[in-house]
Chains A and B, each alone.
Chain A
């Protein structure tokens, strides 16, 4: 589905991370992990075609990214960016309806019945059918995040990428959101999501892609990636692994 071959990410003329190799399969939930400033967001932007890559190749369904137009990319990948303030007084439905943008030709100003159905379905998928008329500004952080996800779902793309969707969310809301992403993956969407919490990633993701300074450190199932050695290499902090029936969990060794 998404193939990354020898990808290097640069910002400001400096290579942040290189040797990224991954084959992200359909309906998988992949968590992108790594320390701050390592290039996680830039990697997502590169996969979406919004940032250039310094080296390597990214292909979507066998087609190199460079061959796709901006609209074609937007028809394949929805990208929920990290919080950007919304200054306009828009309703939730207004926002979600914009997800239909890449399916319109430039002269199409009005919503088709097909758009309407996609918008309603997206709102239902995130459990916000009754929020359509609410002003976006009146929503809580978790509701806003779900509304942005609904906009991505209305885009009707096979892939949904999210940049730190659980930041600023309390534990329960964060888990509800991750469970929602899990359900979306089960429902046929490929999820690529930047997370900071290793245990959230272990609990919900099928595969982890761990970036370290300068290079990709690991890509694989949580049990294989979350080892004290690899984690210490990535974050420079000693951690202890505890295996639970639900998979591995990591605790800072200093807290033992």
Chain B
């Protein structure tokens, strides 16, 4: 298991490294290396690497890791392989707030913070609706997450339909499709504490996630405080989803597929499944972002669209193949 985790860590590092080499402006690998070693060297290379590519790769890594980890947490909490971190309502709430703000002409500088606040508020609302007794009801959580998401996507559509400015509509759509274009170190610094807090809570929840694998009822019999575990896991997943949404908008699919792939490679023990999901998410997101910004350079493909085009068929293939062998 440790060996597999190490292999995944190498994979993630390799993906981030490769992602550093890709981009709109042609830079030879040795120029990138030179720029990495000499951040203050004169010339464009240092600026491109340190101000554009490096933050971009770091952001892709954090987004991918957050979504992978968040997905693994929620799938473990609900013991349902079809949920992803956006079930917390974070992306829908953030999306609706950002869409309304863009159309109202609010300054782009405050959008991430606004989206973050709206996303987390929605997560709290979803959690309140999912509450039963002192714990969380899995079916209610799914119902609340799905229906609030539907409501907020209607708000987004309404906002786009009503705006007179095609520019604003374009901006909203870009956000919905997921993109890390134009994000930099300051965005990463804003989101990192929340992603870190989510990861910390996830680590605390590891024994609980393992116990929950035998079901809520039996987990209670061995002394797990199921209610507290549920809130911890949901809070962790919401924080991770909110951090990723601030950095990249809606990047679908990673939170769904990555935990599956991780489980196939390392099993369901949360001690290895969580780090594996984070590493695999980081690797996938970094590679996808590299492709997204080099395939149609100098413009960019939305990473959410790209992931869906490549990811959906790959995922279905993997899943159906497994059904056949099982």
Contacts and interface: CB of A to CB of B under 8 A. Distances in A.
A88 B206 contact: no
A106 B204 contact: yes
Interface in B219-278: 220-225, 267-269, 271
B223 A70 contact: yes
B213 interface: yes
A105 to B, nearest CB: 9
Given A50-B220, A81-B217, A84-B217, A98 B79 contact: no
B77 to A, nearest CB: 13
A78 B215 contact: no
A52 to B, nearest CB: 11
Given A98-B211, A98-B214, A88 B268 contact: yes
Contacts of B220: 50
A195 B210 CA distance: 31
A73 B211 contact: no
A73 B221 CA distance: 9
A86 interface: yes
A155 B222 contact: yes
A70 B221 contact: no
A204 interface: no
B223 A71 contact: yes
Contacts of B222: 74, 78, 98-99, 101-102, 151, 155
Given A84-B218, A88-B79, A106 B207 contact: yes
A87 B75 CA distance: 12
Contacts of A79: 221
Nearest to B270: A109
B210, B220, B221, most chain A CB atoms within 10 A: B221
A89 B221 contact: no
Nearest to B216: A84
A236 to B, nearest CB: 31
A58 to B, nearest CB: 16
B213 A74 contact: no
B67 to A, nearest CB: 22
Interface string A77-93: 01111001111111000
A91 to B, nearest CB: 10
Contacts of B269: 94
A86 B215 contact: yes
A85 B217 CA distance: 11
Interface residues of A, number: 32
B225 A70 contact: yes
A95 B268 CA distance: 12
A75 interface: yes
Nearest to B206: A109
Contacts of B268: 88-90
A108 B218 CA distance: 20
B266 to A, nearest CB: 13
Contacts of A78: 221-222
Contacts of A71: 223
A50 B221 CA distance: 8
A95 B214 CA distance: 7
A104 B213 CA distance: 17
A74 B223 contact: yes
Contacts of A85: 215
A109 B274 CA distance: 13
A102 B223 contact: yes
B283 to A, nearest CB: 24
A95 B207 CA distance: 13
B223 A86 contact: no
Contacts of A75: 223
Interface string A142-183: 000000100100010000000000000000000000000000
Contacts of B79: 87-88
A204 to B, nearest CB: 23
A48 interface: yes
B298 to A, nearest CB: 47
B213 A101 contact: no
B214 A86 contact: yes
Contacts of B215: 84-87
Nearest to B223: A74
By Cβ-Cβ distance, the 7 closest A-B pairs, closest first, are A74-B223, A102-B223, A79-B221, A101-B222, A88-B213, A71-B223, A84-B215
7 contacts: A50-B221, A81-B218, A84-B217, A90-B268, A94-B213, A101-B223, A151-B222
Interface of B: 79, 204, 206-207, 210-211, 213-215, 217-218, 220-225, 267-269, 271
